[in-house]
């Protein structure tokens, strides 16, 4: 099973989308304590379906295959909790605050108190996940980014995510914090031009959504690694509230899923048109 799917437009792409957390292929070697909907709450469930059809307007879309409870593609590859391993880790490990909260490269918890792994992992297992899933995804993302940059001289990249409607003890805004419909993160202006961030925010607000910028999410590893506006690489993280299209308890689509997708397609069309004609 490849670690990603690339959906290409019929013509040369003008915008790059990626979704690193919507994968839902759980391999046979994944031994987990979490089951059913508890496990799937770790996914950006169905986000691939929501944004994949943006190819119709000129977006190239990169979608993860494997779930982030197996390996998180939006972490540094050394952001590892070595206590999850059954043996010493022979490579450098630099655990971040995400790992300390149980949300590192290899997750300890799906949600507070719900453990991911049913056993300690061998170092070779983690190394295989990095080499066969993590690195190919990032290589594909870098290649698509460079392809668009060569063609157009600039890259407009949205890194898509979903978020719980209410924060918990593992999230930066804390337990019980209510969220807006969307959170747009550009590392306080360091990962993208103000014009690109404004396009996203103004378009979403113009469609009637509530939007916050860089609060509580400023952008993760992918935004930090791929955003370089001085060189023409503009990357923005977009988090959408799951209750807009899901029953969060059961992780199933609700009746308004189709209508919400159409609104996202209108957003994608506006973004691609702006990129095509100069943001």
Per-residue pLDDT of the chain (279 residues; tens, 9 = 90+): 899 999 999 999 999 999 999 999 999 999 999 999 999 999 999 999 999 999 999 999 999 999 999 999 999 999 999 999 999 999 999 999 999 999 999 999 999 999 999 999 999 999 999 999 999 999 999 999 999 999 999 999 999 999 999 999 889 988 999 999 999 999 999 999 999 999 999 999 999 999 999 999 999 999 999 999 999 999 999 999 999 999 999 999 999 999 999 999 999 999 999 999 988
Q: How many domains does the chain have?
A: 1
3-class SS at 251? coil
Q: Supply the pLDDT for residue 1.
A: 87
Q: Tell me how far apart the alpha carbons of residues 28 and 184 are, in angstroms, rounded to a whole number.
A: 36
Q: Supply the pLDDT for residue 274.
A: 97
User: Residue written as tokens 């099973």?
Assistant: 1
Domain CATH code at residue 171? 3.40.630.40
Strands 155-163 and 233-241, bridge-based pairing: parallel
Please compute, for residue 68, the number of CA atoms within 13 A of its CA located in the half-sphere on the CB side: 27
Strands 211-213 and 182-185, bridge-based pairing: parallel
Q: Tell me how far apart the alpha carbons of residues 279 and 277 are, in angstroms, rounded to a whole number.
A: 7
Q: Which domain holds residue 194?
A: 4-277
Q: Tell me how far apart the alpha carbons of residues 49 and 38 are, in angstroms, rounded to a whole number.
A: 21
Q: Is the dihedral of CA 38, 241, 159, 78 positive or negative?
A: negative
**pTM for the full predicted model:** 0.97
Which residues, including other chains, have CB under 8 Å from residue 223's CB and lie 6 or more apart? 159, 185, 186, 187, 191, 235, 236, 237
CB atoms within 10 A of CB 150: 9
């Amino acid at each position: 099973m490849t670690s990603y799917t690339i959906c290409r437009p019929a013509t040369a792409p003008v915008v790059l989308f990626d979704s690193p957390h919507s994968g839902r292929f759980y391999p046979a070697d994944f031994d987990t304590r979490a089951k059913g909907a508890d496990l799937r709450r770790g996914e950006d469930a169905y986000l691939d379906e929501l944004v994949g059809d943006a190819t119709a307007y000129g977006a190239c879309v990169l979608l993860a295959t494997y779930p982030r409870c197996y390996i998180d593609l939006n972490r540094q590859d050394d952001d590892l909790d070595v206590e999850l391993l059954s043996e010493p880790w022979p490579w450098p490990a630099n655990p971040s605050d995400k790992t300390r909260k149980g949300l590192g490269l290899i997750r300890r918890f799906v949600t507070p108190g719900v453990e991911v792994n049913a056993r300690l992992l061998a170092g070779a297992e983690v190394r295989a996940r990095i080499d066969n899933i993590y690195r190919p995804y990032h290589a594909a993302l870098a290649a698509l980014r460079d392809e668009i940059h060569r063609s157009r001289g600039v890259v407009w990249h949205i890194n898509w995510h979903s978020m719980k409607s209410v924060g918990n003890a593992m999230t930066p805004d804390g337990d019980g914090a209510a969220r807006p419909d969307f959170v747009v993160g550009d590392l306080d202006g360091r990962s993208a031009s103000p014009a690109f961030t404004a396009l996203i925010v103004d378009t979403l607000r113009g469609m009637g959504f509530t939007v916050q910028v860089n609060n509580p999410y400023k952008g993760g590893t992918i935004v930090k690694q791929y955003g370089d506006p001085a060189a023409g690489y503009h990357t923005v993280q977009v988090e959408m509230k799951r209750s807009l299209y899901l029953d969060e308890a059961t992780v199933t689509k609700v009746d308004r899923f189709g209508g919400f997708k159409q609104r996202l397609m209108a957003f994608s069309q506006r973004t691609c048109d702006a990129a095509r004609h100069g943001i």
